[in-house]
Amino acid sequence: MTVNMDLAKYYYASMQQIATELQIEQKDILPTLMRMPEIVSGVTDTLSDEDWQVIAAQIGMVCDMLTQHRQKEGVMLTHHIENNIQRIDELCRSVEVFDKKRLDRIRERLQQSLSDLTQSANMDPNRLEQEMIFYVEKLIFRKKKPALHHCEYFLQLIKEDASTKGKKLGFLIQEIGREINTMGSKANDVDIQRIVVQMKDELEQAKEQLLNAL
């Protein structure tokens, strides 16, 4: 803040003259004087062209450093996300081993149930068929799990150089999560449930890293 002393003196002399001629008591002149136009003004510092060039160069250097840091961070996050998705892919494929044993157990239970039902005189063949279809659909996995397709596409997409791939990766993460949940709900097997828990853990890590990258 700066005070225009010459203008303040002029205002002060004028105010004294008016007060004398009009016989007005002079008091609290300073607050009134400080409110007069153009008495007080803010300080506006301007940089020389040389100073601005130095500052601009420093700003540019800091921006370059930030860009390099973000690029390194992006590479690191991409590596972590790829590892998470690859691990989900491996775990999903490992389900096949346990799934065969699980299917054998399901088959044995179904055969036993069928044997019991066929001995019942009140058996309804149509109702039996409906119950069997419902039961099989509820417990049997598809031959080629959609989660594997999503993982393969995710790993392919993350290597592409596209500005819009972030939304696609986020969508694929959600789809992988849905398929993992479906697998868990159909598993009815302790070993497969453990694998599902591991896949969910890897998926949560991938989600967190993807949000950091975006």
Q: At 128, is the pLDDT very low, low, confident or very high (cuts 50, 70, 90)?
A: low
Rg (CA), the chain: 39
Q: How far apart are CA 188 and CA 144, in angstroms?
A: 19
DSSP state of 159: T
- CB proximity list for 193: less than 8 A, separation 6 or greater: 184, 187
Between residues 136 and 26, the one the model is more confident about:
26
- The answer to whether the beta carbons of residues 188 and 97 sit under 8 Å apart is no
Q: At 131, is the pLDDT very low, low, confident or very high (cuts 50, 70, 90)?
A: low
159-164 average pLDDT score: 70
Q: Is residue 201 pLDDT above 90, yes or no?
A: yes
Q: How far apart are CA 23 and CA 117, in angstroms?
A: 121
Q: At 213, is the pLDDT very low, low, confident or very high (cuts 50, 70, 90)?
A: confident
Q: How far apart are CA 136 and CA 106, in angstroms?
A: 9
Question: Which H or E run includes 27?
Answer: none
Q: What is the pTM of this model?
A: 0.54
Q: How far apart are CA 105 and CA 100, in angstroms?
A: 9
Q: What is the pLDDT of residues 105-115, one digit of tens each?
A: 777 777 676 67
